[in-house]
């Protein structure tokens, strides 16, 4: 049962340090005599403090005239409680017992406090009401890097400005959990003013080094971020992935794995992998990563599965098992092969384009058939070998011939063109070889022929197929001997001429008929350049239209026109028997007739509209079903047309359709696709 005794403190300074020391001294004596523990508390308070220690007594902050209660729960403590209460009730000034003993107690408590301050791991700074530091413990020295002997007795803010110690003294408020940086260290501080009789008599700052906690926090944040990234990667890959521990129990499965094998993710965790696939044999070599397993599902799909060991600190911790669908691998392999073929094709086309000499840049077009022809022409320009350019009328044979000349070593020498079909046969010899003065009636002076003028450079013989056989024989001799004789002359003239010939005639058929010399054909046909007709390079029509509109606008000082989509579609559907020359004429006529900045379908000839209607009718026929089926001829024409559009040459179109190039050529003639 608790024994209590109430008294009123009559000391004018209340229960201050010296009075508390005297009380602690008396309490120690009484407790020793009556073998008990004495406590002191305020009235109506449940908690008390031991009377044998100075600091707890001072911490009660008991004032003059305040009632307190001495108590003890030990048996036989009634006398001890009574005596200590009687002592407290006296006026201390009238009795100063054992001054040396009290001083000893005060000294012991002070030394104990200092020992406590030095032993704690938190930094402790105490200062008086003027901000002068009077306590600076060992932990404070280590954290701040400031020695106690350098700071005690000096203003704190001058040494530790981050703490704002003066603000603490003026605000009279506690500041808890503040974070500051001192040098390279982060600290968290609790700042409290010391208030006595409502006056600030000092302040205490307790702070803790949290640099390691900050580092650990950052590392933890980095680990969380890495884990989140890792989870996102595992969930977004196409492969099925599961992880197993050392006991071969599943600890994780990603969504693709669940989807592949139709297993509920939450139902497979903690189960052994063998239970999920009871028909398979998972041996030690599999878990060691030395062999793979092929799995077959009930719906006929096949999967390949392999495992990789997880080693941490050279210790085996489990496996990562990866599953991949074989059908998807096959599809991927096919796609890679297709992309490889496309890449190779594009590389070849790029090499052709990059291999072209700059002299060919003024030839408009990007279609494969044209680039292939220009590549041959560009290679032919490297030598002086004879070149035979073949193609329909209007495909730009002379344009290519001039490009070959500019790209060759003779570019600074003359280029002389001659249309063999435009000169009567009886005058062709004098045009080619020249004549002496008086060689015939009207020959008042000598004249040099085309070959002599072109000596050192290039002569271009257009429409060579229209030359008669007698002239062919003379031309053959010139090509073989590299010398000419003027009409009426007796002395041969040496020449150095490169010959480029062109024709739209079927020379092979003419040789069979005997109208063209076989030996001349082989002399001219050293390198053949086949120029595709415009209908085989429909993709170049927009480029050509843009080029011609700009050219014609400059030529006639007309505003530059653009072309409407329906007009361009009509041009693309037209078969162009006159090729690029005909297209240029159509654009020139359209720009002349147009009243605004657009070339419309109304500005083009009417037969283009009819051609577009026929094309639409064919498309409509082929897209219908039921009894309205296309005829065999219509289907054949459409197939050959599509093959020529796609491949650009008779040979490649024939390969695509399983026919030889001669058959494709005849069919193209039949259906007017050239």
Calculate mean pLDDT across residues 25-32.
Answer: 88
User: Do residues 366 and 485 both lie within one domain?
Assistant: yes
User: Do residues 495 and 413 both lie within one domain?
Assistant: yes
pLDDT of residue 405: 93
Please, what is the angle between helix 650-657 and helix 632-647, to 10°? Answer: 120
Q: Name the range with the highest mean pLDDT among 322-326, 501-505, 652-656, 665-669.
A: 501-505
Q: Is residue 203 domain-resident? A: yes
Q: Is residue 274 domain-resident? A: no
User: Do residues 515 and 564 both lie within one domain?
Assistant: no
Instruction: Specify the range with the lowest mean pLDDT, choosing from 220-229, 512-521, 651-660.
Output: 220-229
User: Do residues 376 and 471 both lie within one domain?
Assistant: yes
pLDDT of residue 351: 56
pLDDT tens for 368-423 read 888 888 989 998 998 999 999 999 999 999 999 999 999 999 999 999 999 998 88
User: Do residues 430 and 518 both lie within one domain?
Assistant: yes
pLDDT of residue 623: 46
Instruction: Specify the range with the lowest mean pLDDT, choosing from 89-93, 122-126, 171-175.
Output: 89-93
pLDDT of residue 533: 92
- Residues 328 and 333: their CA atoms lie apart, in Å, by 9
Q: Is residue 436 domain-resident? A: yes
The count of domains in the chain is: 5
Cβ neighbour number for residue 391 with a 10 Å cutoff: 20
User: Do residues 513 and 648 both lie within one domain?
Assistant: no
Q: Is residue 198 domain-resident? A: yes
pLDDT tens for 419-435 read 998 888 878 888 899 88
pLDDT of residue 120: 78
pLDDT tens for 183-212 read 677 788 888 888 776 777 788 888 888 776
pLDDT of residue 476: 93
pLDDT tens for 560-581 read 888 988 899 889 888 898 999 9
User: Do residues 379 and 508 both lie within one domain?
Assistant: yes
Q: Is residue 352 domain-resident? A: no
- The domain in which residue 391 lies consists of 358-532
pLDDT of residue 641: 86
Pick from 60, 94, 128: which residue ends a domain?
94
User: Do residues 495 and 554 both lie within one domain?
Assistant: no
CATH number at residue 188: 3.30.450.20
The yes-or-no verdict on residue 656 having pLDDT over 90 is no
Query: Higher pLDDT residue, 661 or 470?
Result: 470
Exposed, middle or buried by CB within 10 Å (0-12, 13-18, 19+), for 600?
A: middle
Q: Where are the alpha helices (DSSP H) in 120-236?
A: 138-144, 148-151, 156-159, 165-171, 211-236
Q: Is residue 426 domain-resident? A: yes
Q: Is residue 173 domain-resident? A: yes
Q: Report which DSSP code applies to 515.
A: S
Alpha carbon distances (Å) from 614 to 167, 534, 623, 632:
96, 19, 14, 17
Mean model confidence pLDDT for the chain = 82
Long-range Cβ pairs for the range 543-546 (8 Å, 24+): 543/364, 543/365, 543/366, 544/364, 544/365, 544/580, 544/583, 544/584, 545/571, 545/583, 545/587
CATH number at residue 38: 3.30.1340.10
User: Do residues 368 and 484 both lie within one domain?
Assistant: yes
pLDDT of residue 528: 94
Pick from 198, 213, 228: which residue ends a domain?
213
Q: In this structure, what token pair is assigned to residue 193?
A: 């003013």
pLDDT tens for 457-480 read 999 999 999 999 999 999 999 999
Pick from 188, 213, 238: which residue ends a domain?
213
CATH number at residue 565: 1.10.8.60
Q: Where are the alpha helices (DSSP H) in 449-603?
A: 450-453, 469-481, 507-513, 518-524, 541-556, 565-573, 579-593
The yes-or-no verdict on residue 95 having pLDDT over 50 is no
Q: How confident is the model at residue 674 (pLDDT cuts 50, 70, 90)?
A: low
User: Do residues 586 and 655 both lie within one domain?
Assistant: no
Query: Higher pLDDT residue, 353 or 315?
Result: 315
pLDDT of residue 618: 47
Calculate mean pLDDT across residues 105-116.
Answer: 61
pLDDT of residue 524: 93
Instruction: Specify the range with the lowest mean pLDDT, choosing from 106-110, 222-226, 502-506.
Output: 106-110
pLDDT tens for 588-641 read 998 988 878 888 888 888 888 665 444 544 444 454 444 455 667 778 888 888
CATH number at residue 504: 3.40.50.300
pLDDT of residue 212: 64
Alpha carbon 674 to chain centroid, angstroms: 47
Sign of the alpha-carbon dihedral angle for 626, 632, 634, 637: positive
User: Do residues 140 and 209 both lie within one domain?
Assistant: yes
> Of 168, 158, 221, whose CA–CA distance to 191 is shortest?
168
pLDDT tens for 112-138 read 666 677 777 788 888 877 777 878 888
User: Do residues 26 and 172 both lie within one domain?
Assistant: no
Q: Where are the alpha helices (DSSP H) in 246-318?
A: 255-261, 265-268, 273-276, 284-287
pLDDT tens for 532-541 read 999 888 889 9
Beta carbons of 23 and 57 less than 8 angstroms apart: yes
Beta carbons of 407 and 378 less than 8 angstroms apart: yes
Q: Is residue 299 domain-resident? A: no
pLDDT of residue 522: 93
């Amino acid at each position: 049962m608790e024994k209590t005794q109430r008294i009123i403190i009559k000391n004018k300074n209340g229960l201050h340090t010296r009075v508390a020391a005297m009380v602690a001294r008396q309490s120690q004596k009484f407790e020793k005599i009556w073998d008990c523990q004495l406590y002191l508390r305020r009235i109506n308070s449940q908690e008390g403090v031991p009377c044998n220690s100075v600091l707890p007594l001072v911490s009660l902050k008991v004032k003059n005239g305040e009632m307190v209660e001495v108590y003890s729960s030990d048996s036989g403590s009634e006398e001890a409680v009574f005596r200590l209460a009687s002592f407290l009730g006296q006026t201390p000034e009238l009795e100063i017992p054992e001054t040396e003993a009290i001083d000893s107690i005060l000294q012991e408590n002070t030394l104990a406090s200092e020992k406590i301050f030095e032993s704690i791991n938190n930094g402790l700074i105490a200062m008086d009401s003027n901000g002068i530091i009077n306590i600076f413990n060992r932990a404070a020295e280590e954290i701040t890097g400031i020695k106690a002997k350098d700071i005690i007795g000096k203003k704190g803010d001058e040494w530790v400005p981050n703490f704002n110690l003066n603000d603490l003294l003026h605000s009279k408020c506690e500041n808890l959990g503040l974070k500051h940086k001192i040098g390279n260290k982060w600290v968290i501080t609790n700042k409290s003013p010391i208030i006595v009789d409502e006056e600030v008599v000092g302040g205490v700052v307790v702070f803790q080094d949290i640099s390691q906690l900050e580092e650990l926090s950052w590392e933890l944040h980095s680990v969380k971020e890495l884990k989140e990234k890792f989870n996102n990667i595992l969930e977004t890959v196409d492969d099925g992935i599961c992880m197993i521990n050392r006991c071969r129990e599943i600890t994780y499965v990603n969504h693709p794995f669940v989807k592949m094998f139709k297993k509920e993710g939450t139902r497979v965790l903690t189960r052994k992998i063998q239970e999920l696939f009871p028909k398979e044999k998972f041996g030690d070599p599999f878990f060691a990563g030395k062999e793979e397993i092929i799995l077959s599902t009930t719906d006929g799909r096949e999967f390949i599965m392999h495992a990789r060991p997880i080693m941490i600190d050279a210790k085996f911790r489990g496996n990562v098992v990866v599953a991949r669908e074989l059908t998807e691998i096959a599809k991927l392999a096919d796609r890679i092969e297709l992309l490889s073929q496309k890449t190779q094709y594009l590389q070849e086309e790029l090499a052709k384009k990059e291999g072209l000499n700059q002299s060919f840049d003024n030839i408009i077009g990007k279609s494969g058939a044209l680039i292939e022809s220009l590549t041959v022409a560009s290679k032919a320009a490297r030598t002086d070998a004879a070149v035979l350019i073949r193609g329909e009328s209007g495909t730009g044979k002379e344009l290519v011939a001039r490009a070959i000349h500019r790209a060759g070593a003779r570019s600074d020498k003359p280029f002389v063109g001659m249309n063999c079909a435009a000169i009567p046969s009886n005058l062709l010899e004098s045009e080619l070889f020249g004549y002496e003065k008086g060689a015939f009636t009207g020959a008042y002076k000598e004249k040099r022929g085309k070959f002599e003028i072109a000596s050192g450079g290039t002569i271009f013989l257009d429409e060579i197929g229209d030359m008669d056989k007698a002239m062919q024989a003379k031309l053959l001799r010139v090509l073989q001997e590299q010398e000419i004789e003027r009409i009426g002359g007796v002395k041969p003239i040496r020449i150095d001429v490169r010959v480029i010939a062109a024709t739209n005639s079927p020379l092979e058929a003419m040789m069979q008929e005997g109208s063209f010399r076989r030996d001349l054909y082989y002399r001219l046909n050293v390198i053949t350049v086949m120029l595709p007709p415009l209908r085989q390079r429909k993709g170049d029509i927009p480029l050509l239209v843009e080029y011609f509109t700009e050219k014609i606008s400059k030529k006639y000082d007309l505003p530059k026109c653009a072309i409407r989509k329906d007009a361009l579609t009509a041009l693309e559907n037209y078969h162009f028997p006159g090729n690029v020359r005909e297209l240029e004429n159509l654009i020139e006529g359209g720009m002349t007739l147009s009243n605004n900045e657009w070339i419309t379908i109304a500005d083009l000839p009417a037969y283009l509209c009819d051609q577009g209607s026929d094309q639409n009718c064919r498309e409509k026929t082929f897209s219908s079903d039921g009894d309205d089926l296309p005829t065999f001829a219509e289907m054949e024409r459409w197939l050959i047309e599509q093959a020529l559009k796609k491949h650009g040459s008779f040979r490649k179109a024939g390969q695509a359709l399983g026919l030889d190039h001669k058959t494709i050529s005849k069919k193209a003639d039949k259906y007017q696709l050239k």
